[in-house]
Amino acid sequence: MATGWEDPFDSRAPLMGQSGGIGARNHYSRLMSDPFEYDDDDAWPGAPSGPAPAYPGPGGNAAAARAAAGPPKWLETLNEAQREAVLAVDGPVLVLAGAGTGKTRVLTTRLAQILHEGRARPYQILCVTFTNKAAREMRERVAGLVGPATEGMWLGTFHALGTRILRRHAELVGLKSNFTILDTDDQIRLLKQILEAERIDEKRWPARMLIHVIQRWKDKGLTPGKVDASDAGEVANGRAVAIYAQYQERLRTLNACDFGDLLLHNLTLFTEHPDVLQQYRNLFQYILVDEYQDTNISQYLWLRLLAKTDDPKRPANICCVGDDDQSIYGWRGAEVGNILRFEKDFPGARVIRLERNYRSTPNILGAASGLIAKNEGRLGKTLWTDLPEDGQKVRVRGLWDGDEEARVVGEEVEALQLKGYPLDEIAVLVRAGFQTREFEERMITLGVPYRVVGGPRFYEREEVRDAIAYLRVIAQPADDLAFERIVNKPTRGVGKTTMQSVHQAARLERLPLSIAARRMVETDELKPAARRSLTAILDDFDRWRQLSQGVDHIELTETVLDESGYTAMWKESKKPEAAGKLENLKELLVAMEEYEDLAQFLEHVSLVMDADDRGKGPMVSLMTLHSAKGLEFGTVFLPGWEEGLFPHQRAMDENGLAGLEEERRLAYVGITRARERCEISFAANRRIHGSWQAALPSRFIDELPGKHVEIEADRGVYAGSGGGAAEDRYGFMYGGGSGFGGGGYGGGAYGGRNSGGLRPGVPERGRDQGFSQGGGPGFQRLKSRGLGSRAPVIEGQAEYIGGDKQADWGEGERCFHQKFGPGTVIKVAGDRLTIEFDKAGTKTVVAAFVERPE
């Protein structure tokens, strides 16, 4: 260590045997018993009283000179609280950053400040985010402030950073450093095998559910030995812990990790090898954590291990940024408690509140604040803004059913579009993924470009995963899961029975599948046909492995996909999605170019590779409230605010008040995404799982403070269809007038199969029953009058949007639509095509969305 400041992990120096004397060991032994005790009261070493000693900067003269040149200009544009958060670099700091208060700005500026002052080298900074996207943005923004000085910074997701560390020390936890990272699919397949061997009825204890249980344990930092037996209860006939242990065992033999392991093994590594922990503690002089409210316990423990300094006089330089009001991931193990107990963990911690909102109008802010105030157990913040204009009130609209709701939103979007309002400033945020569908269809018929954010991720698609599986087997012959996945895909006569015998042999000889298979084909154990097929594919793999030494990973992939018959399989397929799959395979090759070699690509594909965001041009965004966190839009539509859907019934059933409060935070997140316009809506009738359900307006609507909200009767929509009752209906709804449709039905919980239809009952909350109707005949009548039929509306508007261009299509021509599949054009009107789809029925769509068939 020449300078003492090099990152030992970036030089290829051997890692073990450094530091970690006896004194240190005692110190750690105390620690070792503690990290897994989440509830203990053990406190962190306190911050020293008085000003923290300036940390001796390693940056040398250049940094000193920069520091002497006066405060950097970026400080000038910060408000007081922000500046405080940026400058408080010594000691533990918790930044409570409300929505739209410039959180990212503070984080990035703080990083820049640390680098600028020469307090630490980039590699001495650990900065953790939750998503790759956040990490990328952060890096870009910091680079924008201080330039290339960010190189080498440990900036990434918990998992990416955990992986980086784990690869360095894999042997210490029984892995090899080239371990594979499994995704959910692989996990389930593996678990199924274990369940089968254990003779556990998969019907009664589905692998999906058990993997969830195991995951939850991992989230808590619990290895099989640490799980409290009573915690497992009756799950899997009381054998859940044993299964967990076996699962871990199998992972180890496969030289694989699931996502949870990436951190869990880090915890094991750090507690069992204090000298290793010591190195990282020495290394990381500053730790920054984004979205702290979303950390789970294992992440918390990881941070806690790393943040603790060996010198009790020196405080941990850890800065966590978060917002308890935006904690919406409790269901996947996030522990709001982490943020609530920060001051206890780090006595003397400074807590800085960012409350000045730069995003939304006073009305939007007021509505959101009023709503979130109904939650208990908050750290408490009061967002404020000094915008002079209150802006438009938050509009709440009650509508007849989901179709109408989608139509109204569609119309508004269209109106905004005509006014020249940029489409990418518009978002429709829904509670659950399936809700995007009706809006999608609406946008298609209107010809409004849209994008669904957060659909299936690119690398999760079947064809991409298959292709990757081939590569994984090439890179790692021991990768059984990958081998199994593609050994008979395309079908090549290596079926279940063959694989069963291979499995058996593999288990007996404790060999990886592909090795066992190689041995078997050299004997007479298999039937000749199976033996021939299996030999062929094994030879293929041998050949490809050879090839991988000679050519780059792109060429290799091309060859493999071609020679394996995989591409041919999709080319011959008649499935409507086949063309898209081939497209994705090409896309994969393009994506691979970003990586240097196969190993690097494989590393990133499971951790980092994002969904293809090749959406071009301005588009309306459709997404769930969860995926909207962190984003902002000029106009936000929030449909589906109905009891049972939002708040979601299951959230309440499974988590009671805590579940409800998380739903409320979700609503808060939704509203605070909007800068100037926020429109909430709910429908009286909604079709869920095929059957119509009457629904009550969400309780959250009641909770919105009246002075920031306007409840709107959307006349016109029903004019002439409901015998004049429509307008009254809405007046009554919130004004307490007389009823429509007789009321009396309600209870809008969405039940299962058997609750189909409407059931009599009294709304739970004793509210006015106004808006719940009985569906039935009246509803049918409405539908048949054309409320549900789209054609008249569409054609009327086609002229506005489509102009006079005649689409280049002829009637009777065959065509293909990304969403609806193949079909036949039956009518051409301007750029609108009416198409009879083979599967999806007859629809009118914009020609631009339609392609020629292959």
Q: Residues in the site for DNA, rule: CB under 7 A?
A: 130-133, 157, 159-160, 183-184, 202-203, 259, 331-332, 431-434, 454, 457, 488, 491, 493-498, 530, 607, 610, 623-624, 626-627, 648, 650-651, 654, 689-690, 752-753
C-alpha to C-alpha distance for 155 and 132, rounded to whole angstroms: 10
C-beta of 163 vs 672, nearer to DNA: 163
Helices (H), 273-361: 274-283, 297-307, 337-340, 342-345
C-alpha to C-alpha distance for 764 and 580, rounded to whole angstroms: 47
Is 139 assigned a catalytic role? no
C-beta of 689 vs 707, nearer to DNA: 689
Which token pair is 795?
């054609």
C-beta of 434 vs 800, nearer to DNA: 434
Half-sphere exposure of 86 (CA within 13 A, CB side): 28
**Ramachandran angles phi, psi of 162, nearest 5°:** -60, -40
Geometric angle at alpha carbon 738, from 733 and 742, rounded to 5°: 90
DSSP state of 406: H
C-beta of 383 vs 688, nearer to DNA: 688
Is 103 assigned a catalytic role? yes
Residues paired with residue 93 on neighbouring β-strands, in sequence order:
319, 350
DSSP 760-816: B---TT----TT----HHHHHHHIIIIIS--HHHHHHHHHHHHTTPPPS--TT-EEE
Check 673, 675, 729, 843 and give the catalytic one.
673
Is 290 assigned a catalytic role? yes
Shortest distance in whole angstroms from residue 145 CB to DNA: 23
C-beta of 108 vs 298, nearer to DNA: 298
Shortest distance in whole angstroms from residue 198 CB to DNA: 16
Which token pair is 316?
């941990």
Element at 638 (helix H, strand E): strand 633-638
C-beta of 93 vs 787, nearer to DNA: 787
Residues paired with residue 507 on neighbouring β-strands, in sequence order:
none
3-state class (DSSP) for residue 360? coil
Is 291 assigned a catalytic role? yes
Length of the chain equals 854
Q: What is the dihedral of CA 79, 85, 90, 92, to 10 degrees?
A: 160
C-beta of 48 vs 454, nearer to DNA: 454
Check 6, 18, 66, 104 and give the catalytic one.
104
Residues contacting 126, CB < 8 A, separation 6+: 154, 161, 284, 286, 287, 288, 306
Check 82, 83, 103, 113 and give the catalytic one.
103
Shortest distance in whole angstroms from residue 274 CB to DNA: 26
Residues contacting 724, CB < 8 A, separation 6+: none
CA-only gyration radius of the chain, Å = 30
Axis-axis angle for helices 598-607, 158-168 (nearest 10): 140
Check 117, 183, 258, 290 and give the catalytic one.
290
C-beta of 176 vs 457, nearer to DNA: 457
Shortest distance in whole angstroms from residue 690 CB to DNA: 3
C-beta of 256 vs 354, nearer to DNA: 256
Sign of CA dihedral 109, 114, 116, 122: negative
For the beta carbon of residue 61, count every other beta carbon within 10 angstroms. Answer: 9
C-beta of 74 vs 692, nearer to DNA: 692
C-beta of residue 196 within 8 angstroms of C-beta of residue 239: no
Element at 242 (helix H, strand E): helix 240-253
C-beta of 733 vs 787, nearer to DNA: 787
DSSP 174-215: T--TT-EE--HHHHHHHHHHHHHHTT--TTTS-HHHHHHHHH
Residues contacting 553, CB < 8 A, separation 6+: 471, 592, 595, 597, 598, 601
C-beta of 202 vs 703, nearer to DNA: 202
Which of 556, 595, 367 minimizes the C-alpha distance to 467? 556
Check 299, 326, 417, 635 and give the catalytic one.
326
3-state class (DSSP) for residue 642? strand
Shortest distance in whole angstroms from residue 251 CB to DNA: 15
C-beta of residue 284 within 8 angstroms of C-beta of residue 126: yes
Number of separate helices (H) and strands (E) present in the chain: 33, 21
Residues contacting 723, CB < 8 A, separation 6+: none
Q: Catalytic positions, please?
A: 103-104, 290-291, 326, 673
